Every structure is written in structure tokens, then in C-alpha cells.
Amino acid sequence: MNFKGKVGILGLALLLALATGALAQSQQLAWDGTQWKEFTQEVKVAYVKGMLNMAAFETASAGPAGAPCISRGFTEELKTKTLGQVIAEVDKFYKENPAKMKTPVIEVVLQRCTKLCTVPPAAAGKKK
């Protein structure tokens, strides 16, 4: 296994180790704003690093055949942002949208920090 593969697996293991307590409290597969608001800064960093490491691992392991679009795009898009910027965007989303606390964190990251899954514009009023 190459270095990138080991780093990806290590990052995922770290994320899972830090998340054990949160997983015990929730049977959901994807964490949302209700868990995110309870996370410490260290757990938020581990979560984002885990997502990035998994996407980077998948991209690297695909080799010349090409990685799945979402992983390749995710790693390319987030190269221009720091972990702090990504975390701040997620925090801001949940603060500005308390009615959307059930939105999965991964969805917020993809919509707010990348161009992969942009949010559709708000519907305009009906024309008469």
C-alpha cells in the first residue's frame, strides 16, 4: 500500500475513533447539524479531514482509470480552502438556517464549499 493509501486509512480510523461517542447517541448514517453543533473544534477538523482523506484515497487508488466524479471534484474544489474555512461555512449554514438542522453535514460541505452540488436559486414569485 502506498503512502497516500496509508494516510487515507489513518485519517478514516482517526475520524471513527473520535466519533464513537457521537455514533452511540445517534442511529443516523449521516451526521447533521444536531450533532455538528455539539462537536468540539477537534472533532470538526477530524470529520472534514476524514471526508477529504477518503476522497483523496479513492482518487489516488483509481489511478489512470479515473476516480469517481464526486471524489475527484471534491478534492480539487477543496484544495483552495483551509479546514477552518470549511468548518466556518458549515457553522454559518446551521446558524443561519436553524430549521435545516437535519441537513447532513456532507450536503452542507458540498453545497457551500464546492461547485459540485450548488443550491438551486430560490423560486421567484408567481407571474400573472
Write down the pTM of the prediction. 0.66
Query: For residues 39 and 117, which has the higher predicted lDDT (pLDDT)?
Result: 39
Per the CB < 8 A criterion, the answer to whether 33 and 101 are in contact is: yes
Residue extents of the structural domains in the chain: 3-113
Mean pLDDT of 97-109: 92
Mean pLDDT of 46-69: 81
Distances (CA, A) of 89 to 7, 28, 86, 107: 25, 22, 5, 12
* Residue-wise pLDDT tens digits, 15-53: 555 444 544 454 567 899 999 999 999 999 999 999 888
Mean pLDDT of 56-62: 81
Mean pLDDT of 85-114: 91
